[in-house]
């Protein structure tokens, strides 16, 4: 049994954000100033691209944030930056599947499980990496079934590397069947979501065209808004019913030394979380 009074206290709201930073060391000034200004309760990072010993813990502790890191050399890597320590942490799936790739970390924050994933990009539908991506979703679904219950407060967030619907890419006709917008990936994402998740951005913003990723390789992609919605905050019904809004901070994509992704922020009603007891 855990009460939320002490942890969901950010002026009546409890905020969870996700940000694929594409290298935490290269992005340190941006992430530092973003955290200082926005102060979410939990920030989920993907593509930190460093080992745990190289993570810039000190800079974030100056802001009052604890870092919980699952890294590897050069590639991938996920982490939490949080105002309070997670009560429990799991790194990886807990089996051999992801031993050599740091793509999933899970933490218990004030009675809410947050699962932070960097889903494999897939390269192209013809590449073996595409199968690895589909297998990752299948593995994740098994993992949710084994360890959680859809009645619990669970958040699945991160760079899920799939645009779910035509509205989620800048040119659905031309991009149809490309990696990130392929029916097999959309079906795989939908199966995991079907376990018991609600897409908070789409719930709060039906019909809104809003991206979270703009490719560096397309000239002026951000200015021309040639983007994709790949980063998601999925929440079980319990939390969706207690969420106030979900928005993309796309200003962060327009600055000097930006990541190719923008942060997504989900805001929950702290009082209604505090009023409820689980476990």
- Which residues of the shown chain bind DNA in the complex (CB under 7 A)? 22-27, 49-51, 54, 73-76, 120-121, 123, 129, 216-219, 257
The residue (of 23 and 125) whose beta carbon lies closer to DNA is: 23
CA distance 206 to 69: 34
The residue (of 75 and 152) whose beta carbon lies closer to DNA is: 75
CB of 143 to DNA, least distance (A): 20
**Structural contact between residues 28 and 59, judged by C-beta atoms closer than 8 angstroms:** yes
Q: Is 216 a catalytic residue?
A: no
CB of 21 to DNA, least distance (A): 8
Enter the tokens of residue 157.
């967030």
CA distance 78 to 265: 17
The residue (of 76 and 98) whose beta carbon lies closer to DNA is: 76
Where do we find the tokens 């509205």? 167
CB of 180 to DNA, least distance (A): 9
Distance spanning both ends of the chain, measured CA to CA:
5
The residue (of 220 and 279) whose beta carbon lies closer to DNA is: 220
Where do we find the tokens 């951005």? 201
Choose the catalytic residue: 41, 70, 159, 170: 159
The residue (of 31 and 233) whose beta carbon lies closer to DNA is: 31
The residue (of 108 and 175) whose beta carbon lies closer to DNA is: 175
HEC secondary structure over the chain: CECCCCCCCECCEEEEEEEECCCCCCCHHHHHHHHHHHCCCEEEEECCCCCHHHCCHHHHHCCCCEEEEECCCCCCCEEEEECCCCCEEEECCCCHHHCCCCCEEEEEECCEEEEEEECCCCCCCCCHHHHHHHHHHHHHHHHHHHHCCCCCCEEEEEECCCCCCHHHECCHHHHCCCCCCCHHHHHHHHHHHCCCEEEHHHHHCCCCCCCCEECCCCCCCCCCCCEECCEEEEEEHHHHCCEEEEEECHHHHCCCCCCCECCEEEEEEHHHHHCCCEC
CB of 238 to DNA, least distance (A): 32
Q: Is 241 a catalytic residue?
A: no
Catalytic positions are 118, 159
């Amino acid at each position: 049994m855990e009460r939320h009074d002490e942890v969901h206290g950010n002026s009546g709201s409890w905020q969870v954000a996700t940000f694929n930073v594409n290298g935490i060391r290269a992005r340190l000034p941006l992430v530092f100033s973003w955290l200082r200004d926005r102060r979410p309760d939990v920030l989920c990072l993907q593509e930190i691209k460093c080992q745990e010993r190289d993570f810039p813990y000190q800079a974030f502790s100056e802001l009052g944030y604890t870092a919980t890191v699952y890294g590897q050399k050069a590639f991938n890597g996920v982490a939490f930056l949080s105002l309070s320590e997670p009560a429990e942490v799991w790194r990886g799936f807990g089996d051999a599947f992801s031993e050599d790739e740091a793509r999933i970390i899970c933490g218990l924050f004030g009675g809410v499980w947050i699962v932070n994933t960097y889903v494999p990009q897939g390269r192209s539908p013809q590449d073996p990496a595409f199968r690895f991506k589909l297998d990752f979703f299948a593995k994740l679904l098994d993992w949710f079934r084994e360890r959680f219950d859809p009645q619990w407060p669970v958040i699945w967030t991160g760079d899920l590397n799939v645009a779910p619907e035509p509205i989620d890419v800048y040119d659905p006709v031309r991009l149809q069947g490309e990696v990130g917008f392929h029916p097999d990936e959309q079906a795989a994402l939908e199966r995991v979501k079907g376990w018991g998740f609600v897409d908070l951005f789409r719930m709060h913003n039906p019909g809104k065209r809003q991206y979270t990723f703009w490719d560096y390789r397309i000239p002026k992609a951000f200015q021309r808004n040639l983007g994709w919605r790949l980063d998601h905050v999925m929440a079980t019904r319990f939390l969706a019913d207690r969420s106030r809004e979900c928005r993309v901070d796309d200003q962060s994509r327009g600055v000097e030394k930006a990541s190719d992704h923008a942060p997504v922020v989900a805001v929950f009603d702290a009082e209604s979380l505090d009023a409820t007891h689980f476990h």
